[in-house]
Structure 1
Amino acid sequence: MHLASLNSVQASASEAPVLSVRNLTTSFRVYDEWNPVIRDISFDVHPRETVAIVGESGSGKSVTSLSIMRLLQAESSRVEGKVLLEGRDLLALSEAEMRKVRGKDVSMIFQEPMTSLNPIFPIGEQIAEALMVHQKISKADARAEVLRLLEKVRIPNANRRFKEYPHQFSGGMRQRVMIAMALASRPKLLIADEPTTALDVTIQSQILDLIKQLQEEEGMSVLFITHDMGVVAEVADRTIVMYRGDTVETGATADIFVRGEHPYTRALLSAVPQLGAISSKGLPLRFPIVDVNTGESPPVQETSNTVSTEKQPLLEVKNLTTRFPIQSGWFGGSVGAVHAVEDISFSIRKGETLSLVGESGCGKSTTGRSILRLTIPQKGQILLNGQDILKLGASELRQMRRSIQMIFQDPYASLNPRISIGAALIEPFRQHGLGTRADARDKAVSLLEKVGLNADMMQRYPHEFSGGQRQRIAIARALMLDPKIIVADEAVSALDVSVKAQVCNLLLDLQESFDLSFLFISHDMAVVERVSHRVAVMYLGEIVEIGPRAAVFENPQHSYTKKLLSAVPVPDPSRRTLRNEISVEELRSPIRPAGYEAPVREYREVTTDHFVQVS
């Protein structure tokens, strides 16, 4: 943002607000009673200003935005107070009048664009429809305007992509389409509800830069909803902190970060992982956990998670290649393949955490699934204590999986909703014949307590737990078989910052207690820095850089590693006027024609055990 733009933001505070929310209270009907979920919320958004509402899941952020837009079901919700858009009370409008406001005067970007875009219509038609609903405009003019908008949000080849469908776009590009649709009628207010939470760090940086730029060009106000204080520092002029339906603190973003008074505000700030937390010994570092009632935090402790000095690694992956064939034509002949993992090699020692990092589509998860033979590789060796997993028969493979367990990104999808969590924990223990039902129950109780839950919860079902608790259950289940190594596939990516800190600390504590090894798959470089002993960076199915944590973070050599590190949000409001200027190209396609063989890659050793791919 230029100095003139910054001055205009400061001057906007003296102008009449675009949005004025007064004493907003929203309640949901639970049986025959009204249960308030947000209570007496008041705030203003001035012209060209960005106001962030921050808080964790359940704090009432999204309900606030849906109340403003009147998108809650009328039968089961009750919204009280005033929502004034340039002096006009939106809560007093009829539904027909409100439809004219949505999209024209106020637009909204939702967290998950795939649930907001119609999968059976091309994206160009969907944006054009938003234009034609609110403006008297011909199809030809609408198409021309849509192409202008697609170029404005930096979608390459806009003319070609006009006719493409949502599934043909990456997550970051789908979010750009949603922004183009939201901006179609040049709204006075843009509500962005967690628009970057599910995105890779580089895509997130691009989207934040894009919103800043478009705000400058269009002169609109932005209400930005998030749980990430690093994102708040990058975008917001003022910040509202919500906790369990109440506003606990509000003020200029710089003041909140420097002089935040409420314990919950300090807890949110302390939970944001920051680059540069590497300790002198190079050991993993626990996250600070602040008490939300007192604001106090115990000293952050370095772990004692040292790596085994045994010569033989626990796990060795050699020249692993996994491809997915693409069939076409009447007879389903192979016309090509997705080269998901291409000739990668690495090892993990006992007690070590190797982090595999990169953007979506780079092959991280396929690598993890290939190691467990949940996906069948085409080539390579996967040696566990010297035994090749790819050559095992069915019974031997079943036995091997006791030694390697996996924690998936979405615990709700990996837990059976029809059985209690006690039964989910006991089942693998009994299936492998490791003891009696009483033994299994005793071990389940012990592990639940180890992950911060209790035995009384064993009769509950997955839907009765929060996201963080479900992830703890998934971790406990993985430990039921006493594995030597755990593949954690984006195990904390979808969690709120403080829950993420708690779960990461739990994994570090369990590593200390059980001498576990981890393959930690993630796109979050700030988290990776704290939990890892070594780091491998993946791009287009290949490892482009690998080495000790300190070497990779302090002396990155590959351009892609540098790009990932530069995209991490910095929780410093003084940097809000800066742009990251990250390239907007999508990750190149890993699809190759039939018969294609990748070139043999060469690596040079930068320092001891620090290797980078020679391009």
Structure 2
Amino acid sequence: MNTAAKIIPSADPVLSVEKLRTSFVVDGEWKPVVRDISFTVAPGETVAIVGESGSGKSVTSLSIMRLLQADTSRIEGKVFLGGRDLLALPEHEMRKVRGNDVAMIFQEPMTSLNPLFTIGDQISEALLAHNAMSKAEAKAETIRILEKVRIPSAASRFDEYPHRFSGGMRQRVMIAMALATKPKLLIADEPTTALDVTIQGQILDLIKMLQEEEGTSVLFITHDMGVVAEIADRTVVMYRGEQVETGDTADIFHRGQHPYTRALLSAVPVLGSMQPYQRPLRFPVVNTSTGESDVPVEVADTVAAGEPILQVKNLTKRFDIHSGLFGKLSGRVHAVENVSFDLRAGETLSLVGESGCGKSTTGRAIMRLIEPESGSVLVEGREVLALDKKDMREMRKSVQMIFQDPFASLNPRMTVGAAIAEPYLEHKMGDAKQAKEVVADMLVKVGLTPDMAKRYPHEFSGGQRQRICIARALALRPKVIVADESVSALDVSIKAQVINLMLDLQQELDLAFLFISHDMAVVERVSHRVAVMYLGEIVEIGSRADVFGNPQHAYTKRLMSAVPVPDPERRRIKNSAVVEELKSPIRPVDYKIMPMQYREVSPGHLVAES
């Protein structure tokens, strides 16, 4: 570990926000969504604004940048940057400030990068817009910046398009673009939320390093308290548009006063906290009004002995790559290779790994949403891969899937009641009257009310929409649920509620869960067994206690070491180990896979031989 030198803030802040108030027009009236926010950011300092979706943190950053639509928003108060009030500047002056004095990194880089222009051209454009330099000078500077943010072979990738980069690489390009003009202030709005833990660790280390070298001030917006602990000097906690607590990050974590601050901290799963427990553990339920939380309790073990309900043997899925004028087969993506595992009633088996490791493809192949090349998938003893279309429909009553994005899974023109009833009626499990009763029962089961059946998806929060997707999956009374990153996009407290719901339903209905995730801290909390995937293959599998208590494979250790730890003492500590991006799973057409060899560390704990 290397500890970076602490930059001592000077007396004059780079950014000073005084009584910021932002309102939007709702039904002809001005409705305030951010109320009287005040804070400062000193030179070289990182200030985090933390809160859940709807707390007003992103609106605060957009107000500072004046990026809200002028005719439907109103920004009041004062925002001083280097002594100038940004809210008083004419628009043509503000355009000079954006990207030059203040730069912003957004959560989803593909919404910020133009897919029609190369990476090099987009960064050069920012340099040419704010500096007097030639195109050749802009290109040379762009390559230097890309090298600085650790883009390998930067010169050769100057002319590549955004879709040729991975998610982590695209986010580095966004950082390069933001830092190209050496701004005084960098606003990072949830820049790591959608990234895997290892890539997230790289991005946080990169921001720390660049801040150390350039002395840039950072305003970091997030809902992840683990990230806050790793990067922030001071923290502002927001709740329902108001600033409820602000102070030194260590004080916030150790001596947080406001109930909502304590509620946020209580909802963060900490890797290693499960060691005293033998079975999955419910998250503590926290009252955001009082900050009081109940004592987390172990979930009663419902894993049945006997034959597994789901058996996967040597499952393989490859995607052909065609190139050239005539579309000649030039290679294959080896997405899933010889994957095998069992799942019993009442058990949760978690598939973990980074994006591109094949875990979601495994889930889809089991459901035959994509057709695997070879292997065997048995559900209650029946071979799924041999079923015809009619029998597959029947099988899907037993195995249901919950996807990551609930909004994309729900028809926006269909009420949630109709969405939950649709599979029930399609499978002819009852008539319309019975379906209505099932919908009401399912909504109650997932913590909603029957009268909500008449509403549309856009009238619900993200956590509520995920509950609706769970209700729809349960309507068919399945035996197995494949949960594909089903809580990854949710805020910490909503994530805790949804996971508690899944654990309660598992106990009540004896459900088997195949839980697909890259969040190691959550996986540790909810799993009976864990399988770690790397480049399409399982490299380690065993009980939760074995895999987390005694990890053997280098990749398993790497995943665990990258998990943010909610401990402010780690602030400004960079990992000394170089974390590489996941290698490409693309292989030549004639590539021969060598069968994976495993050694048994302890009963049921298998590790791939390297």
In 2, Cα distance between the equivalents of 1:586 and 1:3?
24
- Alignment partner, residue 466 of structure 2: 471
Match for 2:286: what amino acid?
V
1:554 aligned to which of 541, 549, 552: 549
- Alignment partner, residue 298 of structure 1: 294
Q: Does 1:278 align with 2:274?
A: yes
- Alignment partner, residue 419 of structure 2: 424
Q: Classify 1:307/1:2 alpha carbon distance in 2 versus 1 (closer, same or farther; 3 Å).
A: closer
Q: Where in structure 2 are the equivalents of 1:282-361 lying within 5 Å?
A: 282-310=278-306, 312-361=307-356
Q: Where in structure 2 are the equivalents of 1:5-404 lying within 5 Å?
A: 5-6=5-6, 8-9=7-8, 12=9, 14-280=10-276, 282-310=278-306, 312-404=307-399
C-alpha displacement at 1:281, in angstroms? 5.1
Deviations 1:200-235 (A, max 9, x none): 000001100110010000001100000011000000
1:445 aligned to which of 440, 450, 474: 440
Determine helix, strand or coil for the equivalent of 2:412: coil
C-alpha displacement at 1:439, in angstroms? 1.1
Determine helix, strand or coil for the equivalent of 2:488: coil
- Alignment partner, residue 485 of structure 1: 480
C-alpha displacement at 1:298, in angstroms? 1.0
Give TM-score, length-normalised by structure 2: 0.99
Match for 2:297: what amino acid?
Q
C-alpha displacement at 1:277, in angstroms? 2.3
In 2, Cα distance between the equivalents of 1:140 and 1:105?
24
Match for 1:46: what amino acid?
A
Q: Classify 1:4/1:363 alpha carbon distance in 2 versus 1 (closer, same or farther; 3 Å).
A: closer
* Kept in 1: contact 2:65–2:98 (CA 8 A): yes
Determine helix, strand or coil for the equivalent of 2:210: helix
1:525 aligned to which of 511, 520, 525: 520
Q: Does 1:586 align with 2:581?
A: yes
* Kept in 2: contact 1:563–1:582 (CA 8 A): no
Determine helix, strand or coil for the equivalent of 2:5: helix
Deviations 1:176-197 (A, max 9, x none): 0000000001110000000000
C-alpha displacement at 1:279, in angstroms? 5.0
* Kept in 2: contact 1:122–1:163 (CA 8 A): yes
| More displaced 10-residue stretch of structure 1: 512-521 or 572-581 | 572-581
* Kept in 1: contact 2:2–2:573 (CA 8 A): no
C-alpha displacement at 1:399, in angstroms? 0.4
Match for 1:270: what amino acid?
S
* Kept in 2: contact 1:319–1:381 (CA 8 A): yes
C-alpha displacement at 1:614, in angstroms? 0.5
Deviations 1:260-297 (A, max 9, x none): 01110001000111011225452100111210001111
Paired positions, count: 610
Q: Classify 1:543/1:3 alpha carbon distance in 2 versus 1 (closer, same or farther; 3 Å).
A: closer
Determine helix, strand or coil for the equivalent of 2:332: strand
Match for 1:263: what amino acid?
P
Q: Classify 1:255/1:372 alpha carbon distance in 2 versus 1 (closer, same or farther; 3 Å).
A: same
Q: Classify 1:514/1:4 alpha carbon distance in 2 versus 1 (closer, same or farther; 3 Å).
A: closer
* Kept in 2: contact 1:228–1:497 (CA 8 A): yes
Match for 2:134: what amino acid?
S
Identical positions, percent: 69
In 2, Cα distance between the equivalents of 1:521 and 1:4?
36
C-alpha displacement at 1:593, in angstroms? 1.5
* Kept in 2: contact 1:242–1:249 (CA 8 A): yes
In 1, Cα distance between the equivalents of 2:449 and 2:575?
45
* Kept in 1: contact 2:229–2:568 (CA 8 A): yes
* Kept in 2: contact 1:154–1:584 (CA 8 A): no
C-alpha displacement at 1:413, in angstroms? 0.5
In 2, Cα distance between the equivalents of 1:185 and 1:123?
16
Match for 1:529: what amino acid?
E
Deviations 1:392-427 (A, max 9, x none): 011111100000000000011011111100000111
Match for 2:319: what amino acid?
F
* Kept in 2: contact 1:209–1:581 (CA 8 A): no
Match for 1:573: what amino acid?
P
Match for 2:190: what amino acid?
E
In 2, Cα distance between the equivalents of 1:280 and 1:554?
11
In 2, Cα distance between the equivalents of 1:4 and 1:214?
11
C-alpha displacement at 1:305, in angstroms? 2.8
C-alpha displacement at 1:598, in angstroms? 1.1
In 1, Cα distance between the equivalents of 2:411 and 2:157?
39
2:408 aligned to which of 383, 407, 413: 413
Determine helix, strand or coil for the equivalent of 1:261: coil
* Kept in 2: contact 1:182–1:190 (CA 8 A): yes
Match for 2:201: what amino acid?
S
Determine helix, strand or coil for the equivalent of 2:121: helix
* Kept in 1: contact 2:189–2:222 (CA 8 A): yes
Determine helix, strand or coil for the equivalent of 2:285: coil
Match for 1:190: what amino acid?
L
* Kept in 1: contact 2:245–2:261 (CA 8 A): yes
- RMSD of the TM alignment (CA)? 1.1
Match for 2:272: what amino acid?
G
Match for 1:342: what amino acid?
E
In 1, Cα distance between the equivalents of 2:231 and 2:541?
33
* Kept in 1: contact 2:21–2:36 (CA 8 A): yes
C-alpha displacement at 1:306, in angstroms? 3.0
Q: Which runs of 5+ in 1 are unaligned?
A: none
Determine helix, strand or coil for the equivalent of 2:302: coil
Q: Does 1:604 align with 2:592?
A: no
C-alpha displacement at 1:3, in angstroms? 7.0
- Alignment partner, residue 577 of structure 1: 572
Match for 1:515: what amino acid?
D
Deviations 1:341-382 (A, max 9, x none): 011111101111000000001101000000000000001000
Determine helix, strand or coil for the equivalent of 1:518: strand
- Alignment partner, residue 536 of structure 1: 531
In 1, Cα distance between the equivalents of 2:320 and 2:592?
14
Q: Classify 1:156/1:296 alpha carbon distance in 2 versus 1 (closer, same or farther; 3 Å).
A: same
- Alignment partner, residue 499 of structure 1: 494
Determine helix, strand or coil for the equivalent of 1:274: coil
C-alpha displacement at 1:330, in angstroms? 3.8
